[in-house]
Amino acid sequence: MKDLTGLDITVHNQSTLDLYNTVVADLCRFKNPVPLTMKVLEAEPCFVMGQVFNGHINLWTTDRDDLQWSLESLATISRIDPAGLNRRERMHVAALQTWATGNLVKASALLDEILIEYPLDILALLSGHQLDFFLGDAANLRGRVYRVLPSWDKEHPLYGYLLGMLSFGQEEAGHYEQAEISAMEAVERNPQDVWGIHAVAHALEMQNKYEQGARFMQDYAQNWQNDNVMVSHNAIHHDLFLLETGEMDKAIEIYDNFVHWDGIDPIPMALVDASSVLWRLYLEDEALGDRAQTLTDSWKQKSDQLFYTFNDAHAIIAFAINHDEQAAKNLLSDLTRYIASGDSDVTNHAMSLQTGLPICEAIFAFSKGDYNTTVEKLMPIRNTTAQFGGSHAQRDIFARTLLEAAIRAGKKNLSTALVNERLMARPQSPYNQKKQQQALALQ
């Protein structure tokens, strides 16, 4: 049989394949894949690509609690005779095994190998793209899509989703105008392409197009606010434009409705979004009400995972905003022990050592008013924070923390230098202009 891109696939029932093709297409627009994936596995438990798919989506979450479902799929796969699988499927199994052990770098490379032989393998592309994002690998975010795109028929129903991925890679690699063009074509082809919508937001932000970005997110609100697992992430992109244009009340309203609220399921990737917005508001001394406590309560359910240190940094942000010193100290202690005794073959270990721990220490110092220590911790890694993943927009909170700490510590020369750098890149940013005035006012 053939899958939705015409690749050979080992499956016994057409109905199972139809379900699988549907859930893969749904993943392209980030519709929650779990319910339909369960139907796929119930229909044919020994369908290897169904099990591989299940393994992938549970690793996408960066939530250690979901790892068990990936391991269950691998256990099922281990009982399937590999002689009955084709080469591509065996390559997928090897990549999933590697990813589940925590070696994200090797897993990314293995997915690239699949794509070199099978450029139409949409699952390898989708998951490889996510791994590039988790690893902060801007060159491969762009390059992975560049390498396969010419092999795709432009009329294929999924082609537009590749343009959304391409745009994000172009933006992260610094090609902002190209990124805007690619992303706009993606959403014109598929208005519900929430990854493409997010790529438009990235491209516009990096070009200082804040008012245009706010209008775009509002115009596409009905597409990104419903029936997908990226609602909170696109909501914070809308918020970033509103914070720049000074529409604080509307930004808070979007946060409350689409990012975080009391009783929401504590999903790490959504909690990261919440921390990202609240920290920006906290740095500017905006009133947060009980939002910091609510976010802290959520993060406490996930902050002991030591699974993806980008999450650790955002957990400690919540604790810092809420002045929960004990929770912050517990996380720092756990992270220090993990680095001392952890497995160096696990990608997260190196991320934690190089970037995660110093950032967490810097955030904690900032919350204590120790701005000099914040500067000392962040200055050596200010140009290498991509090592622990995320996007330029997400990692900007750490650049803002460094700048704010320098200003509060009275370091005029450093503050001026940091502001100059920001203004050269984004001169129309009201935030950058405000910080320039604060730096100039230092004695």
Q: Is 314 left (phi over 0), alpha (psi -120 to 50) or beta?
A: alpha
For the chain, the domains span 260-409
pLDDT tens string 279-305? 999 999 999 999 999 999 999 999 999
3-state secondary structure of 2: strand
Q: Which two tokens stand for residue 185?
A: 């074509």
Angle formed by the axes of helices 159-172 and 138-148, nearest 10°: 150
Q: Which two tokens stand for residue 310?
A: 């980008």
Task: Calculate the average pLDDT of the chain.
Answer: 97
Over residues 255-273, the mean pLDDT reads 96
DSSP string computed for 321-336: HTT-HHHHHHHHHHHH
Angle formed by the axes of helices 309-321 and 357-367, nearest 10°: 0
Over residues 302-330, the mean pLDDT reads 98
Do the beta carbons of residue 62 and residue 104 sit within 8 Å? no
Q: In angstroms, rounded to a whole number, what is the distance separating the alpha carbons of residues 289 and 270?
A: 20
pLDDT tens string 324-346? 999 999 999 999 999 999 898 99
Specify the pLDDT at position 365: 98
Burial of 368 (0-12, 13-18, 19+ CB in 10 A): middle
- 227: phi then psi, degrees, rounded to nearest 5: 60, 45
Residue 63, pLDDT above cutoff 90: yes
What are the beta bridge partners of residue 282? none
Specify the pLDDT at position 342: 83
List the one residue out of 139, 115, 118 whose CA is nearest residue 128. 115
Over residues 393-405, the mean pLDDT reads 98
pLDDT tens string 96-138? 999 999 999 999 999 999 999 999 999 999 999 999 999 999 9
Q: With cut-offs at 50, 70 and 90, classify the pLDDT of residue 405.
A: very high
pLDDT > 90: percent of the chain: 99
Specify the pLDDT at position 44: 98
Over residues 185-198, the mean pLDDT reads 98
pLDDT tens string 382-394? 999 999 999 999 9
Q: Which two tokens stand for residue 353?
A: 């050592």
Give the helix ranges, DSSP H, for 173-230.
Answer: 176-189, 194-206, 210-219, 221-224
List the one residue out of 232, 172, 227 whose CA is nearest residue 202. 172
Specify the pLDDT at position 219: 98
